[in-house]
Copies of this chain bind each other. A is one copy, B any other.
Amino acid sequence: MMQLSYTEENYLKALLKITYESGKGQAGTNELATHMDLKPATVNDMLRKLKEKGFISYQKYGKITMLEPGKLKAIEIIRKHRLWETFLYKKLEFTWDEVHEVAEQLEHIQSAKLVERLAKFLDFPEFDPHGDPIPDENGLFKVKHKKTLSEVGIGKKAKMVAVKDNSSLFLKYVMGVGLGLNNVIKVISKQDYDSLMVIEVNGKRSNVSLKFAENIYVI
């Protein structure tokens, strides 16, 4: 399979993300444009190209779905991204809010040997610093968690296993509340009106919004 450009790789990655996350397995032009911070016209051109190359299925005015080669390529990039994040976090002492930005660049380095050696060097990690699963060399990975903190009932406890939002802003906020992966969270109370929650982590109580709670995955 021919070499994809940096840009094409990013489109496939974004497409996989939104087709999966929407649950419907499909996406629209505007939706993709918004997600990638591009104009619909720009995306439209690229869609014709990706269709031409056999990565996606799509026809004029229709919805976009990913074809197998597109999915595989996207998963490969996600694998690289998460391995690099793990490397930065575990070996170079980056904090979890610093890794994403650099991994966005590193994920595009082309070298099959590098990816496999890196995986081995890291002892074949299964999760990245944000709790997201790392696909293996065959593209297989654990299904993502579905339950978020916002769904935990009053008085109940849950363990934080991942974050949905990977932005530095959010991650710093999470740290500020004294929260990290694998911490146990107890829901003390929840407002009926706006779902504002009081949670307790390691004995420390904090107020968190619905938006916050929806971005914390728990089990």
Contacts and interface: CB of A to CB of B under 8 A. Distances in A.
Interface of A: 88, 91-94, 98, 101-102, 105-106, 109-111, 113-114, 117-118, 121
How many copies are assembled? 2
Contacts of A91: 121
Among A92, A98, A118, A121, the most chain B Cβ lie within 10 Å of the Cβ of A92
A94 B120 CA distance: 13
Contacts of A106: 109
Contact of A111 (B102, B109, B114): B102
A30 to B, nearest CB: 30
Contacts of A98: 113
Nearest to A92: B117
Nearest to A110: B105
21 contacts: A88-B114, A88-B117, A91-B121, A92-B114, A92-B117, A92-B118, A92-B121, A93-B117, A94-B113, A94-B117, A98-B113, A101-B111, A102-B109, A102-B111, A102-B113, A102-B114, A105-B109, A105-B110, A105-B111, A106-B109, A109-B109
